[in-house]
Every structure is written in structure tokens, then in C-alpha cells.
Amino acid sequence: MGAFGSLPHEIKHRGRAITLYHSEVLFMTDMPVTSVYLVTQGAILVFSDDGTGLKRCVGPQQIIGIHDALISGTWQGVGVAHGKTEVVCFGLANLHAAIEKIPQAHRALLDDLLAI
């Protein structure tokens, strides 16, 4: 089943499916974050800037990119596919629009969480 097979109908029409194969790079340190990704199959391994340490493993039904987009606007590591991996790509415009609409108290909490 493809990346869109088990997603709710409204998500299927808002994102774009991308298939990566083992060791393909999704993003690199200091590249601008232009999209966030929902992993639907496989995993994205996020390595340190120099590639020597594993920082995070992002698996199915996890989103990657929101933190990087909001704290610096650039990727804070190297993202590499682990096995055959499918992701759904979402542009940042919708994320920024949603953040602008949240209540101020929630925005303050979000700002505090990003500062950690």
C-alpha cells in the first residue's frame, strides 16, 4: 500500500507523497526547511551535522521538520532514509497560517517549548 493508503481523505489532498530508498538523503544541515514530512512507511534517521552520531529516528506516523522550521528555519542535521521509506510532504505555508490563528496563551506555550 502506498504512502496515502491509510491516511484520512483530507490529508491525501494536501500533501505530496515521496518514496525514498535506503541511504537516500532527504535533507542536509543548514538547508532551508521548506516542508515538513509525515513518515508513513520506513524511517528517517537524523544524524549529527558531521554524520558521526544518530540524533533521532523518525518512524511511521511521526512528523519531522516542525521544530527545525520554527527554531531556525534550517535543518539541524542530516536526514537519511532507512530502508524503503515513504513520506508525505507538506509546505510550510499551512503550518505558519495555523500558528498565526492559535490563541496567544497557546502561542506563548509553543514559544516556551521551542526555547528548550
Tens digits of residue pLDDT in 12-43: 556 889 999 999 999 999 999 999 999 999 99
What domains can you pick out in the chain, each with its CATH number?
9-91 (2.60.120.10)
Q: What pLDDT sits at residue 37? A: 95
CA-based nearest residue to 25, from 1, 61, 51, 55: 51
pLDDT value at position 92? Answer: 85
**Which pLDDT band, with edges at 50, 70 and 90, does 103 fall under?**
confident
Return the bridge partners of 81, or none: 44
Q: What's the pLDDT score for residue 3? A: 45
Q: What is the pLDDT, as a whole number, of residue 1?
A: 45
Which regions of the chain does DSSP assign to beta strands (E)? 16-20, 25-27, 35-47, 54-58, 62-64, 78-91
